[in-house]
Amino acid sequence: MAYTDIDKPTDYFDTKLYTGNGSNNTSITGVEFQPDWVWVKARNIEYGHKLFDAVRGQGKRLASQSNAAESTVTDELTSFNSDGFTTNSNAGMNENNRPYVAWNWLAGTAFTNDASSTSVGSIDSAGSVNQDAGFSIVSFVGTQSNGTIKHGLSTAPSMIILKSRDTASHWLTGWTALGWTHAIKLNLTSAKETTHYYWNNTAPTSSVFSVGAGTESNKNGDDFIAYCFAEKQGYSKFGSYIGNGNADGTFIFTGLKPAFVMLKRTDAASQWRMWDNKRNTFNVVNKALLPNDASEEQENTNQNIDFLSNGFKIRAAYADTNTSGSPYIYMAFAENPFVTSTGVPATAR
């Protein structure tokens, strides 16, 4: 029996905490790999989320709480380095004495696809992929016609985050756990939407994902970026659960000890929430940030969860995380697999 695909998750995903110094050319180190997707948030002030990736290139910033088009900036992330990244003095990334969190993912292998030549997909794509971690960053130009796009992975993505770079438009997320007739927007609190315009009512395959004729998923001539995730046992999980409305809340088995969890209620308006194992090193885990909101880090009992050796447990009867009978979606990345490839179990916190 294979317990895990990855014994050391920090080779592919890592959370880095740092304190700003207000200086240019500041190296943020300790990530242990050269990240290809970096997501930064100031923790104690209402500064927006800042998302960068190596496919779009340094200095190209998107913000998860906003529908704004991509911005070109010179004072934020200026390079992706072998052990982290470099930032200049921008207050949202490096204000003196300000605490920050940076979530980092590794892709790393470039790919391109001429759809007409390869007969893979109908829309050309290019990007960076990590087959071991099940993660790819995909760039394509919209056609506003139903189409398919090579994602670079060898297995079907379980979750996709997609955004137009050129137009003010919402962030779309698609989930196998939600069904590909639906989408839910990362920058909004709204419930799931049901429409063919986003994913063309079609689940991803091992080679392509589908887009419909909607402007937010496939506007003609717009440059788009997509972050695609395939599940890897013991490293990542993209699933759903039903709330029980009890302070002794639902337990969600993931097969991994979480380093990061993000979740959202899908049947009603609610905030997204993100937790990690660096901002809370012991249970309960209660320091949440909201990807759909620029607000500072929240710490209250309404959003208590526990990170366990094999999943996470909700510790509050709270509408955004645990309404009785309501469905929720989540993404989780591992600190450790539940059991290593050699049979060593993860320890509890």
CB-CB contact of 284 with 298 (8 Å): no
Q: Which helix (H) or strand (E) holds 44?
A: none
pLDDT of 2 reads 63
CB-CB contact of 280 with 17 (8 Å): no
- A 10 A CB-CB count for 251 gives 14
140-166 pLDDT, tens digit each: 999 999 999 999 999 999 999 999 999
pLDDT of 260 reads 98
**pLDDT digit string (tens) for the chain, length 349 residues:** 468 989 999 999 999 999 999 999 999 999 999 999 999 999 999 999 999 999 999 999 999 999 999 999 999 999 999 999 999 999 999 999 999 999 999 999 999 999 999 999 999 999 999 999 999 999 999 999 999 999 999 999 999 999 999 999 999 999 999 999 999 999 999 999 999 999 999 999 999 999 999 999 999 999 999 999 999 999 999 999 999 999 999 999 999 999 999 999 999 999 999 999 999 999 999 999 999 999 999 998 999 999 999 999 999 999 999 999 999 999 999 999 999 888 888 887 8
CA 91 – CA 316 distance, rounded (Å): 34
Query: What sign does the CA torsion over 16, 19, 22, 26 have?
Result: negative
Domain 109-229 fold is Immunoglobulin-like (2.60.40)
DSSP string across 103-120 = EEE---EEEEE-HHHH-S
pLDDT of 347 reads 85
Residue ranges of alpha helices (H) inside the chain are 91-94, 115-118, 196-199, 215-218, 319-322
pLDDT of 300 reads 87
Residue 232, SS3 per DSSP: strand
CB-CB contact of 346 with 288 (8 Å): no
CB-CB contact of 320 with 271 (8 Å): yes
β-pair partners for 165 = none
pLDDT of 346 reads 87
pLDDT of 1 reads 47
